[in-house]
């Protein structure tokens, strides 16, 4: 069976082994541990092979990893082609400016972004979720690999269908998700610290 190390994968993609492992970690194929890199269940399903050399953990990959859609999207994100996602982004324009210069699609997202910025939590807005399906998250926090979704349009049928689809995808890929709705946005100072703590971010 042909396998590749992160170094060999990197050589083919003009990346370093460190960058390759960071991509694989971001998509939850591997996770960092005291002994190196540990293979996750999702990584195992996608061709990862755990290697333990004198207590140092690393992961080899079947050559198919080079054609793996999730991995390829992480290395070089593709434009989303999903019609529902595109329709949503066209309908709700990013017109609200936040304190750190992002333009977001609602006043509630301004509140979330400004809160994260005020707490010095590095975050991205509308980052492509590194999965096979075409999905953008509302916010992404690299520390803890946390995705935040704000659900605001409860009277729109297409929006509710999109919401359900996205929730199922977060669950399918076992991603860290914080969900905020209109009732929680007014209590964000209490709500978000509790939720972040579940994923290892302590603001105290």
Question: In a structure prediction context, what are the per-residue pLDDT tens digits for the chain, which is 204 residues long?
Answer: 689 999 999 999 999 999 999 999 988 899 999 999 999 998 999 999 999 999 999 999 999 999 999 999 889 876 666 666 666 666 667 889 999 988 999 999 999 999 999 999 999 998 888 888 888 899 999 998 999 999 987 777 888 888 999 999 999 888 999 999 999 999 999 999 999 999 989 887
The torsion of the CA quartet 144, 204, 116, 175, rounded to 10 degrees, works out to 20
CATH of domain 83-198: 3.40.960.10
Cβ burial 139-158 (10 Å sphere, 16+ → b, else e): bbbeeebbbbbbbbbeeeee
Q: Determine the pLDDT at residue 26.
A: 86
State residue 134's pLDDT score: 83
Domain with CATH 3.40.960.10 in the chain: 83-198
């Amino acid at each position: 069976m042909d396998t590749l190390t992160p170094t060999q994968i990197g050589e083919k993609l003009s990346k370093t082994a460190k960058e390759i492992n960071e991509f694989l970690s971001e998509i939850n194929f591997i996770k960092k541990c005291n002994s190196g890199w540990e293979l996750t269940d999702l990584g195992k399903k996608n061709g990862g092979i755990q290697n333990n050399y004198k207590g140092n953990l690393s992961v080899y990959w079947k050559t198919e990893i080079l054609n793996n859609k999730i991995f390829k999207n992480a290395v070089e994100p593709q434009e989303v082609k999903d019609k529902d996602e595109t329709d949503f982004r066209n309908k709700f324009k990013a017109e609200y400016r936040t304190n750190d210069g992002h333009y977001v699609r609602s006043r509630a997202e301004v509140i979330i972004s400004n809160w994260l910025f005020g707490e010095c939590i590095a975050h991205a807005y509308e980052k492509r979720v590194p999965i096979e399906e075409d999905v953008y998250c509302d916010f992404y926090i690299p520390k803890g690999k946390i995705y935040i979704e704000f659900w605001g349009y409860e009277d729109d049928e297409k929006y509710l269908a999109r919401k359900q689809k996205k929730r199922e995808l977060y669950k399918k890929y076992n991603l860290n998700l914080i969900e905020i709705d209109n009732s929680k946005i007014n209590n964000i100072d209490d709500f978000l610290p509790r939720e972040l703590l579940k994923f290892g971010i302590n603001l105290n």
